[in-house]
Amino acid sequence: MKHFYSRIALCVATLLSGIVHAAEVSVAVAANFTAPMKIIAGHFERDTGHKATLSFGGTGQFYAQIRNGAPFQVLLAADTETPAKIEHEGLGVAGSRFTYAIGKLVLWSKQPGVVDDTGAILKSGNLGKIAIANPKLAPYGAAAMQVMNALGVTSRLTPKLAEASNIGQAFQYVASGNAQIGFVALSQVLENGTLKEGSAWIVPSNLYSPIQQDAVLLKAGDNNPAAQALLNYLRTDAAKQVMTSFGYAH
């Protein structure tokens, strides 16, 4: 009987230890990484006991919020420049930056048969609105401008551009029919490695600069075990498999 109660006490102590050590991390996530991060966060909680509370939006908008004291503890950006700037300005933990994913750009229409596998519609005379994320704030928008410049169609297409504040909004413009086509993140239109709907051209990577996406530990998360655990988890095979299924390289 004494041995039985000892085992019960050990189980209770183990359970309480898990509760004590489990923590929660507040994460600012670039809009393009919404779908994979929701899955990764679920796996992270299952595997570590820690919980990630996610907020999605534009990297430039998050930067402004972090500078104004927003209590995020980890930033998963859509670029490398913003995390570097955050670290340089003392808002991030020195040496914590790393590239967690490399994004891919796609030209997408919700309608099948509109976009072929060469992007020929960009040179068509019969073209409606084109959604694009703000190229001054959003890396995917800047990449889209590079593609149009490389194809020599910028001046002709500029009047047709419907500029969104971030890549999430650009996707919504196309999904809602407010734009005929749009430059969006490949991750937004894939599910299990397959195009969810419509038609798309995966833009060749030689037409735009690599979209390296960096993570950084923010000062508010420096002493939070869940924050460091999440950054470590993003490097695991489990997380990378999810990213791959959404079209990311790493």
Identical fold for domains 2-102+212-245 and 105-202, yes or no, is yes
The single residue listed with the structure tokens 């498999």 is 241
d(CA 240, CA 184): 21
d(CA 169, CA 42): 24
| Nearest in space to 107 (alpha carbons), one of 148, 138, 139 | 148
Mean pLDDT of 129-158: 96
Please determine, for residue 87, whether its predicted confidence score (pLDDT) is greater than 90: yes
Mean pLDDT of 50-54: 98
| Nearest in space to 40 (alpha carbons), one of 206, 219, 249, 229 | 229
The single residue listed with the structure tokens 């030689």 is 206
For domain 105-202, give the fold: D-Maltodextrin-Binding Protein; domain 2 (3.40.190)
**Given this model, what pLDDT does residue 228 score?**
97
Tens digit of each residue's pLDDT (9 = 90 or more) over 148-166: 999 999 999 999 999 999 9
| Nearest in space to 105 (alpha carbons), one of 161, 143, 149, 138 | 143
Q: What does the mean pLDDT of the chain come to?
A: 91
Superfamily of domain 2-102+212-245 in CATH is: Periplasmic binding protein-like II (3.40.190.10)
Mean pLDDT of 176-181: 97
**Given this model, what pLDDT does residue 137 score?**
85
The residue ranges of every structural domain in the chain are 2-102+212-245, 105-202
Q: DSSP per residue over 185-217, as a string?
A: EHHHHEETTEE-SSEEEE--GGGS--EEEEEEE
Tens digit of each residue's pLDDT (9 = 90 or more) over 35-48: 999 999 999 999 99
